Homo-oligomer: A and B are copies of this chain.
Amino acid sequence: MSLQIIPPRSGAAFELTRGQTLTVIDPEGEQVSDLVAFAREDLDEAISSGRSLDYASRIFLTTGDPLYSNRSRIMLEIVEDTVGRHDFLLTPCSADTFRIIYGHEHPHRGCHGNLVAALEPWGIGPDRIPIAFNIFMHVDVNGTTGELKVLPPKSKAGDRIVLRAEMDLVVGLTACSAEQSNNYAFKPIHYRIDG
């Protein structure tokens, strides 16, 4: 498959077949990409941060770590990761995010709105968008106070993560729309499916 481009502040959705790999590339650096996944055979089975973090006993996931579904089945495994820092705590940014955190009066629909639009052909509605695996998102966590700080991604131009599908999936993927997450510059995300 040729390289696919997700323009700034937008999203895409596509199917992955078990055994295929998805490569997500940050072409310019410091750009986040939110990933959500659903089992193709039953779309009520969705990616679960709560199970993935519990089974890893770690909040930062990287090469070798599986991403579990809400039914505790492995959906994806990270097989390559040139950055090593992603977030799996926060929901995709949304109009509500921009209203509540940024105080915007006419908020962008954000990754949440972009994922809903991209996943519409599969009938996945807004309530079904889980906490995303926020690729390249750099959230500093203070283990003492619990404070979260969204910092610029550690990704540089050309950095990538490769995930192998462990079941047939529907995947939603964005070029993230939130200022803080992307060091206040919106850039595209590239991806490729192999296998």
What chain B residues lie within 8 Å of A91 (beta carbons)? 48, 50-51, 54, 70
Within 8 A of B (CB), among A80-132: 89-91, 94, 96-97, 100-101, 126-127, 129-131
Residue from the list B60, B89, B101 in contact with A50, Cβ < 8 A: B89
What chain B residues lie within 8 Å of A70 (beta carbons)? 91, 127, 129
What chain B residues lie within 8 Å of A145 (beta carbons)? 58, 60
Q: Does A141 contact B (CB under 8 A)?
A: yes
Residue of B nearest to A44 (CB): B127
Q: How far is the CB of A96 from chain B (nearest CB, A)?
A: 4
Interface bin, chain A: 35 or more
What chain B residues lie within 8 Å of A195 (beta carbons)? none
Q: Does A18 contact B (CB under 8 A)?
A: no
Q: How far is the CB of A70 from chain B (nearest CB, A)?
A: 6
Q: Does A147 contact B (CB under 8 A)?
A: yes
What chain B residues lie within 8 Å of A46 (beta carbons)? 127
What chain B residues lie within 8 Å of A127 (beta carbons)? 44-46, 70-71
- Would you call A146 and B89 a contact (CB within 8 A)? no
Q: Does A4 contact B (CB under 8 A)?
A: no
- Would you call B97 and A59 a contact (CB within 8 A)? no
Contact with B along A122-153 (1 / 0, CB 8 A): 00001101110000000011111111110000
What chain B residues lie within 8 Å of A23 (beta carbons)? none
Which 10 interchain pairs have the tightest Cβ spacing?
A50-B91, A60-B146, A72-B96, A50-B131, A143-B143, A59-B146, A44-B127, A141-B143, A54-B90, A58-B146
Given contacts A50-B130, A59-B148, A131-B131, list 20 more A-B pairs with CB under 8 A: A48-B91, A51-B91, A53-B89, A53-B90, A53-B148, A54-B91, A55-B101, A57-B149, A58-B146, A59-B141, A60-B146, A70-B91, A70-B127, A70-B129, A71-B127, A72-B94, A89-B89, A141-B143, A143-B143, A143-B144
